[in-house]
Structure 1
Amino acid sequence: MLYPEITTVVNSFSSENISEQRKEVLKPLIDFIQSKALAQEEIRLNLICTHNSRRSHLAQIWAQAAAEYYQIPKVICYSGGTEATAMFPVVAETLKLSGFRVQALSIGDNPVYAVKYSENQHPVIAFSKTYYDEFNPDGGFAAIMTCSQADGGCPFISGAEKRIAITYEDPKAFDNSPQQTEKYNERSLQIAEEMFYVFSQIKK
């Protein structure tokens, strides 16, 4: 069960907000999750963007929350980049706006955060890393490319069972601008609505 504040956000979502064209983009991910669910296998999703600093973290965390909301078992969401940098601090603040509990476990050049979406589930451990980091799976996962740069620059993802491009515009364009909070929240909610739509389509 998600925190009530997150559930309130989720209740505002509607599949009607997602275009038919975009639903086609999401369909390969639905198919991957559905096939694993029917086989009662672990569903490993690795959300990937260039720096593992913004979009991939938002997608990882919202996808994990969606799996909890729809009670799809054996879902483990990861994230990575083609290079490691740091999770941009505004991402943590954006998640808090939607009701996530975010705790900094370490500080420094690449802080580690624990992000909780539910009272009784393990938090998502969020920090910047490469997609092939030891923290991530080395096989049997779907590689979901959340940015066009990583999608174009990484034609081959070692260990990926399936590679799926679901790209988003980078909110980094609004860093240090008056629109920063609004635009990060807008991108977070777009990703969230799509991840919740994906998991809503899974038949158990």
Structure 2
Amino acid sequence: MEKPRVLFLCTGNSARSQMAEALLRKMAGNHFEVHSAGLEPTVIHPMTIKVLEEIGIDASQQYAKPLTTYLGKTQFSYLVTVCSKAEERCPFFPGMGQRLHWPFEDPAAFEGNDKEKLDYFRTIRDQIQARIQQWLSELNIS
């Protein structure tokens, strides 16, 4: 039986959506096929990789992808926007299942010294992890 597909979407696909992809894959990858994309993809922020490594997730092979990679080609059971810009600008497209919106602040936009930035990336990572755990509980997936 095919696993339900989940797509996490944000603007740059550099931090939040990448974290969500890696976290859901670690937490419930046996239940879902997990992807992420951006409306205007850039490159993965180095602190995204670092804060995931801190909790035992190797995201070094992940890369930023445009939404067009999937539009009209892949059907998703869940589309999860993780930023308000993506929620406002994401088109509805064939094959999109349930649409969810989990807004998180952009850690890449945080201003401060390197330690403060890294701490903020950790905060957002932990918020995303908690939201995924809540969602998995709602779906009765442990």
Where does residue 57 of structure 1 map in the other structure? 18
Q: Does 1:169 align with 2:105?
A: yes
| Structure with larger Rg | 1
1:78-157, aligned counterparts within 5 Å?
Answer: 78-102=35-59, 113-114=60-61, 126-133=62-69, 138-157=74-93
> Structure 2 counterpart of 1:83, which letter?
E
Matched, 1:186 2:123: yes
Measured in 2, the distance between the counterparts of 1:137 and 1:80 equals: 14
Query: How many matched pairs?
Result: 140
Q: Give the gaps of 5 or more residues in structure 1.
A: 1-39, 103-112, 115-125
Give the TM-score normalised by the residue count of structure 2.
0.85
Partner of 1:42: 3
Percent pairwise identity? 24
CA shift, 1:41, in A, is 4.7
The normalised TM-score by structure 1 is 0.61
**What are the superposed Cα offsets for residues 24-69 of structure 1, whole Å, 9 maximum, x if unpaired?**
xxxxxxxxxxxxxxxx65210000001111100011111111215x
Equivalent of 1:77, from 23, 31, 34?
34
**Unpaired runs of 5+ in structure 2?**
none
8 Å CA contact 2:49–2:58 kept in 1: the answer is: no
Q: Distance in 2 between matches of 1:74 and 1:190?
A: 21
C-alpha deviations, 1:149-172, integer Å up to 9, x for none?
Answer: 011112424431222111111112
Q: Secondary structure at the match of 2:40?
A: coil
Are residues 145 and 98 of structure 1, via their aligned partners in 2, closer, same or farther at CA, if it must alter by over 3 Å? same
CA distance in 2, matches of 1:132, 1:188: 26
Please tell me whether the aligned partners of residues 144 and 166 of structure 1 are also in contact (alpha carbons under 8 angstroms).
Answer: yes
